[in-house]
Amino acid sequence: MASLHPTIVLGGGFVGLLTVLNLSHQTYPHPILLVEPRDRFIFKPLLYELLTGEMHPKQICPAYTELLANRQVSFIQDRVQAIDLQQRQVTLSSGRFLSYSNLVLALGSHTTYFNTPGAAAYSFPFTSDDEAIALRNQLQNCLRRARETPNLEEKMGLLTVAIVGAGPAGVELACTLADILPVWYDQLGGDYEDLRIVLVNRSGEILKGDINNRLRTTAQHSLMQRTIPIELLLEAAVNEIRTDGIAYQQQGMNHFLSAATIAWTAGTEPNSLLKTLAVAPEHRNRRGQIQVKSTLQLLDYPEVFMGGDGAYVAEAPQPATAQVAYQQGQAIAHNLLAIAAGRSPSPSQINLRGTLMKLGIGEGVANLFNRIELKGELGHLIRQATYLELLPTPAHNFKNTTEWFTDSLFQRHQPRSLNANHYRRTPLLAGMTAAMVSALIALPLAWRAAQPQTFQETLSWTGVPALLDRWTPRQQ
């Protein structure tokens, strides 16, 4: 009876989506159901590009209907309310019950505030497109208010942005904001030197304990090199977030940092639904992740697979990055296909190819295979190209890669309301025209040098050869 039930994938992040895409591509014999509360996939590593507008929202958040078009996958837009592993049943918020033959848990993670008072209410997390847009609106609103207020103290607060957490997300967000805010504020006629960005971190160093920690020196240098140098507030324990700033403790002393915008990138925790699963406490770690076998199956439920932020393999722990989730999705699909064909599932092979970070607008760093570090514009290009190639479907990534490349090449992104006195760019048409005119000046001169006699005879009626001869000694 169980085989009549579908394979259900809970969560449409990298793991879930890559699982269903790989299954549908390989003609999986069972029905496939993808359950996800949102109607769009979010490509989280490129959320900074959504905040700044460097990339089109459709490129970063494609609709599931578009991604799953012409595939044997049913998409249910709903929230999971309960999972009964013993009964092999999932309950959705709509009240619908779904029975499964195989289950894939790819529920992802959400922001955690570590019970910091006021953090959930007054800070801005940065994990989804809605949150990125909310942060952007808040920042632009603060800049506008700062231009209007006559109160100097209020102005300073409005122009200060605090980012809590100096992990990769905090560092990337700080670098991005330090480049974009001066441009936005300058457009409003403000003095960009008044802006302040403070990166607040509990430990004494940035990127501590992260896979990106090899890039610490480069990241630190980059933080200082932005249009607005980023202030580091290290060994600062945040006690409370208020509407007007952060109360924190540093070296036993209480301090207050006035800031109208507080971004929270201090941590995430696995989906709270995982706490309700019938899994023994010894198979969970301190973060609340659930232990899985190397085949990504739950220890006591071999029909259930799990990947992404909520799972860990005790013998080979992996960082919570897009490239790991991407490969786990492929591995789960491979094992589901093996089970359907009557074969045994095989251990997942995760290959880390290095790390990538955005370090400002048009700047990044790529650490390839932990050996080669490429930074600046080259690092940015590698990061962008790598992430675009990770986009879920070949058609989608080809389309977006082409769009991004042509946008960059032809500088399609033009500022709409920039003051022409402030910014002067190299317009492609004007630049090419100048190059053509210069070439047109050079060509007859080269012709004269190569074939003086022919040049003389052909163009004598114009008077140009006589004019040039007057400037130079006679040709030999």
Partner 1 sequence: MNSLRNFNISLRQAMLINRLTMGIFFFVSGIANYLNFNVKDGFYQTVLTLKLQLWGPFPAGWEGIGPLPAIIAVPYAWLLPGAEIILGALFALGFWVRWTGLLLILLTFSIVLAFGIIPAGSLFPNAAESFNKNILFMTSIWMCVAYETNSKRNRMRRTAQCLPQNLMEDIEEIK
Tell me which residues touch partner 1 (CB under 8 A): 40, 52-54, 56-58, 61, 129, 133, 179-180, 182-183, 186, 192, 227, 361-362, 411, 413-416, 418, 422-426, 430-431, 434-435, 437-439, 441-442, 445-446, 448-450, 452, 468, 471-476
Q: Shortest Cβ distance from residue 267 to partner 1 (Å)?
A: 27
Q: Shortest Cβ distance from residue 190 to partner 1 (Å)?
A: 12
Residue with smaller CB distance to partner 1, 243 or 476? 476
Q: Shortest Cβ distance from residue 185 to partner 1 (Å)?
A: 10
Q: Shortest Cβ distance from residue 226 to partner 1 (Å)?
A: 8
| Distance, CA of 364 to chain centre | 12
Number of other residues whose CB lies within 10 A of the CB of residue 297: 19
Q: Are the C-beta atoms of 182 and 227 separated by less than 8 Å? A: yes
Phi then psi dihedrals of residue 307, to 5 deg: -150, 175
**364 CB contacts (<8 Å, ≥6 apart)?**
356, 357, 358, 375, 376, 379, 380, 381, 382, 383, 384
Q: Shortest Cβ distance from residue 15 to partner 1 (Å)?
A: 24
With tokens 């969970």, the residue in question is 284
Residue 62 in tokens: 């494609």
Residue with smaller CB distance to partner 1, 371 or 424? 424
Residue with smaller CB distance to partner 1, 461 or 471? 471
Residue with smaller CB distance to partner 1, 30 or 40? 40
Q: Shortest Cβ distance from residue 471 to partner 1 (Å)?
A: 6
Residue with smaller CB distance to partner 1, 5 or 383? 383
Residue with smaller CB distance to partner 1, 207 or 230? 230
Residue with smaller CB distance to partner 1, 186 or 210? 186
Number of other residues whose CB lies within 10 A of the CB of residue 419: 10
DSSP state of 361: T
Q: Shortest Cβ distance from residue 452 to partner 1 (Å)?
A: 7
Q: Shortest Cβ distance from residue 232 to partner 1 (Å)?
A: 20
Q: Are the C-beta atoms of 268 and 109 separated by less than 8 Å? A: yes
Please list, residue by residue across 333-357, b when 16 or more beta carbons sit within 10 angstroms of its beta carbon and e when fewer do. bbbbbebbeeeebeebebeeebbbb
- Name the E strands within 194-342: 196-200, 231-233, 236-242, 245-250, 253-258, 261-264, 268-270, 290-292, 304-306, 311-313
Task: Give the Cα-Cα-Cα angle 130, 125, 241 (nearest 5 degrees).
Answer: 135
- Cα distances from 384 to residues 80, 177, 203, 221, 410, in angstroms, run 33, 18, 30, 21, 17
Residue with smaller CB distance to partner 1, 319 or 427? 427
Q: Shortest Cβ distance from residue 109 to partner 1 (Å)?
A: 24
Nearest to 13 by CA among 93, 108, 102, 87: 108
Residue with smaller CB distance to partner 1, 136 or 155? 136
